[in-house]
Amino acid sequence: MRILIIEDNPSLNKPLSEALNINGYQTDIAENLKDGEYYISIRNYDLVLSKWLLSDGLGLDIIARIKEKHPRTPIIIISDERNSEYELQTFKNGADDFVAQPIDIRVLVVRIEARLRFWGSTAIEIDELTINPDEEKITYKGQEIEVKGKPFEVLTHLARHRDQIVSKEQLLDAIWEEPELVTPNVIEVAINQIRQKMDKPLGIATIETVRRRGYRFCYPKIPVEN
């Protein structure tokens, strides 16, 4: 899972990034809203952590854009002070949590993990297809489908971001721990396994290839032929 940290204080963003990396998360750090918006435009994030006040605006200003692109992505706002008005505005603007300084990084990491567990534990149910991330289990009309490992993660990520086109690079960033060490061809291999082990035997289509742009989860729609 990949997390975006929008925080301009190195004494917090670097230790937090390191703590999350140790726990198996991939992180990007943006020190202002402009850089944060850039990262959001090129990558899919499982959670965004943003400071309340940055050099070029309020962290609240980025919430609408994140939720527009990924409605279910949790957003946590960090404030330099505990202020009930700030907290109220945070939730009114659509954020999922509010944390005030001083912050124990260990506690913050646990809160982030709790948010991601809640987000990731919800089974994805679409028509007669169910994808259960907790059990790495797929069922179709009550029949269990043997799709495991990276192909399962690719399918799950696309299903979570259904109706959106996800590029190979975005899939690599979201799923592989060291995306720079693998080639985009691994995505094609994963997609092919999904189609051979699931789509073809069941007579369904779950992933549409969008030429030169990436992939889109399309079940139960029929994919556009390219």
Torsion-angle region of residue 196: left (phi > 0), alpha (psi -120 to 50) or beta? alpha
Read off the tokens for 33.
């809203």
Q: Region 56-60: what's the mean pLDDT?
A: 91
* Position 223 pLDDT exceeds 50: no
Q: Region 171-178: what's the mean pLDDT?
A: 84
- pLDDT-derived band of residue 121, with 50, 70 and 90 as boundaries? low
Question: For the segment 185-220, what is each residue's pLDDT rounded down to a tens digit?
Answer: 999 999 999 999 999 999 999 999 998 899 999 998
Question: For the segment 143-157, what is each residue's pLDDT rounded down to a tens digit?
Answer: 999 999 999 999 999
* Position 166 pLDDT exceeds 80: yes
Q: Region 101-109: what's the mean pLDDT?
A: 87
Higher pLDDT, 175 or 179: 175
Query: What pLDDT is stored for residue 125 in this prediction?
Result: 85
Q: How far is CA 57 from CA 38, 85, 103, 114, 148, in A?
A: 15, 17, 22, 28, 43
Nearest Cα to 74, choosing from 100, 48, 105? 48
Query: What pLDDT is stored for residue 222 in this prediction?
Result: 57
Q: What is the DSSP string of 167-223?
A: -HHHHHHHH-SSGGGS-THHHHHHHHHHIIIIIHHHT---EEEETTTEEEE-TTSPP
